[in-house]
Structure 1
Amino acid sequence: MPHGSQINVVIIGGGPAGLAAAFWLTAPEQNDRYRVTLYTQGWRLGGKCASGRNYSEHDRIEEHGLHMLMGCYHNAFATLRACYEAWHPGPGSPLSTWEQAFIPQRKITLMEPDGRGGAWEPWDFANLPRSPGEPGDGLGADPMAARALAEGPVDAMHRLVKRLADWLETSVGLDKLIKGGKAAIAALRAPLFEPTDERTKKKLNDLEIANKQLREAIGNKGWQPAGHDAEQNESFQLASGAMSRLLILANLGVATGLGYLRDIAHSGEAAYDKLNAQDFRAWLATCGAFDETLASAPIRALYDLAFAFRDGLAGNIDNGSMAAGVTFRFAMELTFGYRNAPLWKMAAGTGDTIFTPFYEVLEARQPGCVQFFSRLTDMTAANGRIQSIEISIQAVTGDGTPYRPLVPVKNLQCWPNQPDWDQLKDGSVLRGCNFESSFCTASAGTRPLQVDQDFDLVILAIPPAAITKTPASFTQGSARWQAALGDSRSVGTQSLQLWMGPPIAGLGWPLGPTVLTAFAENYDSWGDMSHQLQTESWSCPDAPQTIGYFVGCLHVPQQPAPTPDSMQQAANQQADQWIAQHLPILWPGYGAGQQTCRCVAANFDGSDLYVQTPSGTNVASRFSSADTADFANLYVVGDWTRTRFSGGCFESAIESAMLASRAISNFPTHIKTT
């Protein structure tokens, strides 16, 4: 690495990971040590998280899917909070602080079949508790944060296991459900001992006894909770479905705790690596999870949220695959490690809320550092270094000035859903070209970049499916790259956005604004996003009062070879069928005439695919962004790298960027990695 002079860093890819890497490398604390140039295809930033405003349809927000942040995304929130601190939006902007941009969501609904010929019942978790602090706390300079970060992985996870014990007592009532419940809760709360210690063996035995009693309770139709006779049991005279749910939750908690004590508590990080060879459900079965639990809505929700189905075929949960180690960690943090709220909605579109601040901060720090309409076509390596990069220039502006990507909507700078054709040279000829599609071959020339002249370091921030769309010459002689790409798995997704005339209650949904999952395919997840109407420009008499975002897996056939037209047609047909068959279950008051408009997206192309984390060797073969990627001047970032969750999520993308920045520059100092 050069010393003394400014270090030129080329970042390939304008998604969350690439932008976060640029953000941290250009921070004031870096003292202008790094000159960053970020190349991204098309007219906007965000990758598969990009959104665009449709100015011909009331400036409506058009997304790739249902994007939310989790309250356990501490690296992501630390980065976004730092970005909002550095951002200076224009006068009157409705979003100027992170608290205005992200809205806590404490209501979650799961759906489950009730066994009556296609009927479904909601499993509503209303008003989930507010936990202390805010997401992203603990990654700054305060001493409490430093202490938390200094804790080892076992200490950090054991804190969550103790919260699991609290939940089993206060929410599930395990000690009231079965005689052995109190001992099981005490076993989870107790200090850790050596795995051969008699006390550890007793704790495992207490959990196994509790699980056996739960099994007997499920099979016993005349069962009464522990410590209650028939006359004293009025508070537990629940509907059979509600009592089944309590027993399933109790079994899930006991099995999870048993698996932690048996397989993880005494082995540290190596335990997670070992477990990743197994599917999460298969591992839970070895921990005593019942068949009813493994097929339940809470488990189905995890697989749906992660699009964790082979080839996008989500109709049968047995077709799901999630690496057990990272899934355990994610599930525990999602449930017991969130701060304030478990989920956070965005006040406007993903592009408006996240990528506008990133872009404007970067442009203020280093004007011209973002190069739009720039697609990677190849990268070569020799002598252990990346030697050259070839960029295809997809389009140029008519007057030669930098492209101006943003448009104002209600005092908010937004990304349009298509380029500003008037800015582009030959824009009338190019009109309609989708520069984000690998099927688009438009080019206004190439830009060759050479090591030691145009760049010193490279950060590759595009997903594996996009890398394999190029010749990727640099990977040909690298066994590590061949393994990482070969073990990676991605899946197509589809999204449906509906703008509806009546308010949500008028559509027949009785439980209020929610985020829902584990529902019928092909759109198993729904989020009420009606709050975003105020950021759109509806002024017509029949303006909608409800927005629903739906998302699910999309099967991408190998033959015939998919095209944008064929996949969009398939997604439209599946949306029609799903609306007719399943939407009236969610919205009993739904009528076709109530639909103001809709938007369907088929996400099947390389950069749009969702990165999965299946069991097997997937996690083990991933690169870590904390080190170079088999070449001395190359770092790889994105949610397909090895991180705390090693999963397709915003947190993994941002964590990888932070790790790469720290490896290069020793900044940022604090990153949550356990």
Structure 2
Amino acid sequence: MRRVLVLGGGVAGLTAAWHLSEPSHHEDLEVTVVQRGWRLGGKGASSRGVHGRIEEHGLHVWLGYYDNAFALVRQVYQELDRPATDPSCPIRTWRDAFSPSNHVGVEEQVEGSWQHWSARFTPNSAEPGTPDGAAGASASPAVFLQRAARLLADFSASLEQQRQESRRPEVVLSASPSRPAHRAPGGRSDLGRLVRQAEVVALVAALEALRLAGTMPERWGLRSQILDGLSRLSRQWDSAARRSTELRRTADLANLVIACLRGTVRDNLLIDPAGFGAVDHLDFREWLRRHGAAETTLRSPLIRGMYDLVFAYERGDRSRPRFSAGLGLLLASKMFFDYKGSIFWHMEAGMGDVVFAPLYQALSRRGVRFRFFHRLDQLHLSPDRRSIAAITLGRQAELKAARDDYDPLVTVKGLPCFPSAPRVEQLRDPVADDLETHWSDRTAEAPVRLLRGRHFDDAILATSLGMVPHVAGELLKHSPRWRSMVSGVSTVPTQSFQAWLRTSEHALGWSEGLTVSGYDAPFDTYASMSHLLGREDWPAEAAVKGTAYFCSVLPSEAAADPVAAGELVRDHAIDHLTERIGHFWPAAVAADGTFAWDVLHSPGKRDESAAMDAQYWRANVDPSDQYVQSLPGSSAYRLQADESGYDNLFLAGDWINCGLNAGCIEAAVMAGAQAANAVLGRPLTAGVLGDWYGVRS
């Protein structure tokens, strides 16, 4: 039997274990997951603290185009069959675990004051995680052009309607490749609208003709026709933008779409075999500027929000925004045109509760073994440098003699969850509270050396990229490609802050359920998460009525001192509450401008210190916790799942080249599936849903 070690229990590693443990491989493969500490999830881990409160690594929102991630979750819940096996569990199906969220927004500073800019995206009947529905070949520049041009038609119709009828523009963003129908013509305003729409329809036809022309001489005339048409539309919207705030915002979006169309045509992405990848060496904002995007658009919350959501600031410096242009085009296309059901999906409990606990249960039933409390220390090469000959682990804890395996889960209000500390009743001796950090005291750890042929045959490296320099020293010394990957693909620390409230967000002045980005430092992203309170176990006397999550990038220099970094995030949270929270919670600020600390839940005193100590914050500076960035040109340094250069080592994580080279759940799931395919000798993208770019199939 072939023995496979999965080194790391994050999304990518568990996805690989899921595919390798399919019933068809049960007689051929033995799969073991090695995990430091007491819980699974990696950067997506969550646990339950005091009163069962959900404590996350950061803010996790699933997007509607995450087909592979949703497919995994759907399979897990179907196999668990909780309605039959655990009918009292409050989350029994994937639809119990996730709810659609179509209301999103960004924040905009206008003449020194911040304003909300929110939108409701049209839902559709498609379901994420299925091969059918709205999602399609959006990694194709041709499809992107068609959909973007049709969106321009909606903008133009909306503009004409506003001009003639003094109404706000009625633009609807939809995942459908066809634009929404407008009411039938019936007057001069409708005639003007039809004329303008006809111009855009002609543009759509010209774009399709350009795609079909390929490299033929006719393409140059079509190219000029398209660029001239885009210039006319751009002037039209520049004029409209001066009339009102609503039109200016719509004009920014139209200008962004026009710049994307113009750049796609000018840079010949329609015929370049690399597709979007042909411009991945450029920064997205700089690429837009090169193709005529207005400075107001480049400074708009639309663009800033995109950078915020992917922590796209070099070394965590907000004055150095950097993000691959090709990936920016792909993500915009996926987010706005390929979502299924809803643009966002909220989890109905912590990510550890709705994703990792069910995965652990289902994998355990399949026979996958878990080795908790085992830290990966080093990979060792064979004498001929062609394979991994040995793996050194550090055993962090010993189980009691009567136990074969550690049970990591507890139950909170009927829901299996990971606790915030090890279940010491299963351990032989007390353990330290820092088992999940790279800097923990290792003097009590027992070294464990695993040998190829005796303990394992193949290994999947599914740690975070930040850990590679610490666990793969021999590989870095031997392989130039590994050295290039580590130096060429960057990670960045992040920070998060969760607050529990004595007053509802609605009473404080905010719209519950809304997620916004693009706000002021230190926390640029805010998500209303009060819908999770029912999953926590607060006593009635606590009177907790709301909860809010905040996150942002953290300067790389903060990683030098983890303790100081934690204190810095605490200071950032205090600064955010005392200086900036009034924009979201006006009722939390007194007439003299001071923050009312009794808004925060605190079991004792209600002063600043006691109130802050009762909240939860994290400085994600550990090498395994840092976010993998997509800086311009970095995709060239990423290795694919089967490109380790060693015949029994495969790679999984959102840091490999998987076709979606971004730090997100979907990328990690895709990478895990590709690692499993590589182990099994299948084509890398076998069974992977969607259309992507830059990865060999």
- For 2:420, the equivalent position in structure 1 comes to 417
- For 2:68, the equivalent position in structure 1 comes to 75
- For 1:235, the equivalent position in structure 2 comes to none
- For 1:49, the equivalent position in structure 2 comes to 44
- For 1:629, the equivalent position in structure 2 comes to 644
Q: Which of 309, 314, 318 does residue 313 from structure 2 map onto?
A: 309
CA distances 1:189-217 after superposition (whole Å, capped 9, x unpaired) = 55222355576445544553354345545
Partners of 1:246 and 1:587 in 2: CA distance: 27
Is residue 670 of structure 2 the alignment partner of residue 655 of structure 1? yes
Confirm or deny: 8 A CA contact 2:8 2:33 kept in the other structure.
yes
- For 1:103, the equivalent position in structure 2 comes to 99
Q: Which of 9, 30, 34 does residue 29 from structure 2 map onto?
A: 34
- For 1:385, the equivalent position in structure 2 comes to 387
Partners of 1:248 and 1:269 in 2: CA distance: 30
- For 1:8, the equivalent position in structure 2 comes to 3
- For 1:229, the equivalent position in structure 2 comes to none
**One-letter identity of the residue aligned with 2:93:** T
- The 3-state SS of whatever aligns with 2:346 is strand
Q: Which of 570, 573, 576 does residue 572 from structure 1 map onto?
A: 570
- For 2:605, the equivalent position in structure 1 comes to none
**One-letter identity of the residue aligned with 1:416:** P
Q: Assess, with a 3 A threshold, how the Cα gap between structure 1 residues 653 and 284 changes in structure 2: closer, same or farther.
A: same
Partners of 2:577 and 2:221 in 1: CA distance: 53
CA distances 1:623-645 after superposition (whole Å, capped 9, x unpaired) = 111x2411111111100011222
**One-letter identity of the residue aligned with 2:301:** A
Is residue 598 of structure 2 the alignment partner of residue 593 of structure 1? yes
In structure 1, the gaps of 5 or more residues are 1-5, 139-143, 226-237
Partners of 1:351 and 1:467 in 2: CA distance: 24
TM-score (norm 2): 0.85
Task: Report the alpha carbon displacement of residue 562 of structure 1 after superposing the two structures with TM.
Answer: 2.6
Partners of 2:427 and 2:26 in 1: CA distance: 35
Q: Which of 251, 258, 263 does residue 254 from structure 1 map onto?
A: 258
Partners of 1:380 and 1:256 in 2: CA distance: 47
Q: Assess, with a 3 A threshold, how the Cα gap between structure 1 residues 348 and 199 changes in structure 2: closer, same or farther.
A: farther
Is residue 625 of structure 2 the alignment partner of residue 608 of structure 1? yes
Confirm or deny: 8 A CA contact 1:475 1:482 kept in the other structure.
yes
- For 1:276, the equivalent position in structure 2 comes to 280
Partners of 1:269 and 1:69 in 2: CA distance: 30
CA distances 1:309-351 after superposition (whole Å, capped 9, x unpaired) = 011122x3xx111111122111111111111111111000010
Residues 643-652 or 418-427, more deviating: 418-427
Residues 164-173 or 107-116, more deviating: 164-173
- The 3-state SS of whatever aligns with 2:287 is helix
Task: Report the alpha carbon displacement of residue 495 of structure 1 after superposing the two structures with TM.
Answer: 0.4
Residues 579-588 or 251-260, more deviating: 251-260
- For 1:228, the equivalent position in structure 2 comes to none
Matches within 5 A, 1:106-505: 106-116=102-112, 119-126=113-120, 128-138=121-131, 154=140, 157-170=141-154, 173=157, 176=160, 182-188=198-204, 190-191=207-208, 192-197=211-216, 200-201=219-220, 203-213=222-232, 216=235, 223=239, 240-263=244-267, 265-314=269-318, 316=319, 319-366=320-367, 369-382=369-382, 383=384, 384-399=386-401, 401=403, 402-427=405-430, 430-441=431-442, 443-470=444-471, 472-505=473-506
CA distances 1:30-57 after superposition (whole Å, capped 9, x unpaired) = 2432111110110000011100100xx2
- For 1:234, the equivalent position in structure 2 comes to none
**One-letter identity of the residue aligned with 2:231:** K
Partners of 2:492 and 2:441 in 1: CA distance: 21
- For 1:231, the equivalent position in structure 2 comes to none
Q: Assess, with a 3 A threshold, how the Cα gap between structure 1 residues 270 and 240 changes in structure 2: closer, same or farther.
A: same
CA distances 1:517-546 after superposition (whole Å, capped 9, x unpaired) = 111111111111111101001123342221
CA distances 1:273-324 after superposition (whole Å, capped 9, x unpaired) = 331111111111222211111111111111000000011122x3xx111111
- The 3-state SS of whatever aligns with 1:273 is helix
In structure 2, the gaps of 5 or more residues are 164-192, 589-595, 602-613, 693-697
Q: What is the number of equivalent residue pairs in this alignment?
A: 629
Confirm or deny: 8 A CA contact 1:16 1:653 kept in the other structure.
yes
- The 3-state SS of whatever aligns with 1:112 is strand
Q: Assess, with a 3 A threshold, how the Cα gap between structure 1 residues 518 and 135 changes in structure 2: closer, same or farther.
A: same
Q: Assess, with a 3 A threshold, how the Cα gap between structure 1 residues 423 and 31 changes in structure 2: closer, same or farther.
A: closer
Q: What's the Cα RMSD here?
A: 2.5
Task: Report the alpha carbon displacement of residue 180 of structure 1 after superposing the two structures with TM.
Answer: 6.6
- The 3-state SS of whatever aligns with 1:499 is strand
Partners of 1:540 and 1:58 in 2: CA distance: 11
Q: Assess, with a 3 A threshold, how the Cα gap between structure 1 residues 604 and 172 changes in structure 2: closer, same or farther.
A: farther
Task: Report the alpha carbon displacement of residue 585 of structure 1 after superposing the two structures with TM.
Answer: 0.9
Q: Assess, with a 3 A threshold, how the Cα gap between structure 1 residues 471 and 671 changes in structure 2: closer, same or farther.
A: closer
Q: Which of 659, 666, 672 does residue 644 from structure 1 map onto?
A: 659
Task: Report the alpha carbon displacement of residue 385 of structure 1 after superposing the two structures with TM.
Answer: 0.9
CA distances 1:483-509 after superposition (whole Å, capped 9, x unpaired) = 111111001100010111222210112
Q: Assess, with a 3 A threshold, how the Cα gap between structure 1 residues 82 and 268 changes in structure 2: closer, same or farther.
A: farther
Partners of 1:473 and 1:63 in 2: CA distance: 34
